Amino acid sequence: MVNNKFLSKSTWQQILPKIVLSPSLIVVFAFVYGFIIYTGYLSASNSKMMPSYDWIGFVNYSKLFALRHWKIAITNLAVFGTLYIGICMILGLTLAILLDQKIRFEGVIRPIYLYPMALSFIVTGTAWKWFLDPGIGLETIIQTWGFEDFSFRWIKDRDMAIYCVVIAAVWQTSGFVMAMFLAGLRGIDDEILKAARIDGAPAFKLYTKIVIPILKPIFLSAFVVLAHMAIKSYDLVVALTNGGPGRATELPATFMYSYTFTRNQMGIGASSAIIMLMTIAAIIVPYLYAELRERKSD
């Protein structure tokens, strides 16, 4: 009887989740994809202080790539991104392998490495700013210990300051990468390792030939997480160096903010945002594609 009057129970069950999800779906479409399209439009308009809708094509992009400031920002991103991802991976993997040796107090040590992740980048940046400052930080302390020739003033040196950003960022995230690798290591079947040991494989080869190849998906996930963090990093630089000395540690994200909101060049700011989006998409889309294809073939 019910079946005749209303939709059948199974149809309800199919529709209900869609109804429940639709508000958030609409919100996501409007505020994420809607604004991506809006930014894309602005990047091809002559917007200065307020958005304007006069279409000028790709002029902003050619202006953008002629700017010395933007070249500094993307060079910095290349240096920062490579070192940040590389060092985090190596450090994270090493820590994970060492922690995986069934040591005592693992439960105490693991959170110690992981805790920096709980801080915001603003806190990390401010703390490292003080720690690296030659006047009050590391340099002064070591000098008061008696090593008067000790000098460490990277943060004041325009050629080295970007490495200070790398140090602070690595400190923050390598524990998290360690946790990812540790989970991967715990997932490896002990039987394989036992078999390899019985065959007389030395410990080093055990890792290079068996463990690390098995961890390949973890490497990929870690890379995707770290790469998008590197491209969007903004708060760390603002707190640590505020783009200085001079403009030496400017990154695309800080560039985008300053051009859009403080320099009254919204068109150029929007075009830099689109370039950043495309960079992230170039990393994420192949990853998602591979993931989805794998799931289908499962």
Given the rule CB under 8 A, which residues bind another protein? 48-51, 63, 66-69, 129, 133-135, 153, 155-156, 158, 241-242, 244-248, 258, 261-265
Residue with smaller CB distance to another protein, 174 or 265: 265
- Output 8 or 264, the one with its CB closest to another protein: 264
Closest approach, Cβ 69 to another protein, in A, equals 6
**Residue pair 226/90 in contact by the 8 Å Cβ criterion:** no
Alpha carbon 119 to chain centroid distance?
15
Cα–Cα distance measured from residue 16 to residue 22, given in angstroms and rounded to the nearest whole number: 10
> Considering beta carbons, is residue 40 or 244 the nearer one to another protein?
244
**In the complex, minimum distance from the CB of residue 256 to another protein, in angstroms, rounded to a whole number:** 13
Which residue stretches of the chain are H helix?
2-5, 9-28, 35-43, 59-66, 68-99, 106-114, 121-132, 138-144, 161-186, 190-198, 203-205, 212-214, 216-232, 235-240, 252-257, 266-297
Beta carbon nearer to another protein, 153 or 228: 153
Nearest to 67 by CA among 232, 277, 258: 258
Q: How far is the CB of 27 from another protein (least distance, A)?
A: 18
Rounded CA-CA distance 268/259 in Å is 7
Q: Please, what is the minimum distance in Å from the beta carbon of residue 68 to another protein?
A: 7
- Tell me the one-letter amino acid at 78: A
Cβ closest to another protein, residue 106 vs residue 157: 157
The C-alpha atoms of residue 217 and residue 223 are separated, in whole angstroms, by: 10
| Residue 220: CB minimum distance to another protein, A | 38
Q: Which residues, 6 or more positions from 87, have their beta carbon under 8 angstroms from its beta carbon?
A: 166, 170, 174
Least CB distance to another protein at residue 71 (A): 12
Closest to another protein by CB, 69 vs 228, is 69
Residue 257, C-beta contacts closer than 8 angstroms, at least 6 positions apart? 234, 269
Q: Of 50 and 108, which CB lies nearer to another protein in the complex structure?
A: 50
Tokens at 31, concatenated: 């505020």
**Least separation, in Å, of the C-beta of 249 and another protein?**
11
> In whole angstroms, how close is the CB of 153 to another protein at the nearest point?
7
Sign of CA dihedral 245, 128, 71, 46: negative
- Closest CB to another protein among residues 202, 246: 246
**Which residues are bridge partners to 55 per DSSP?**
45
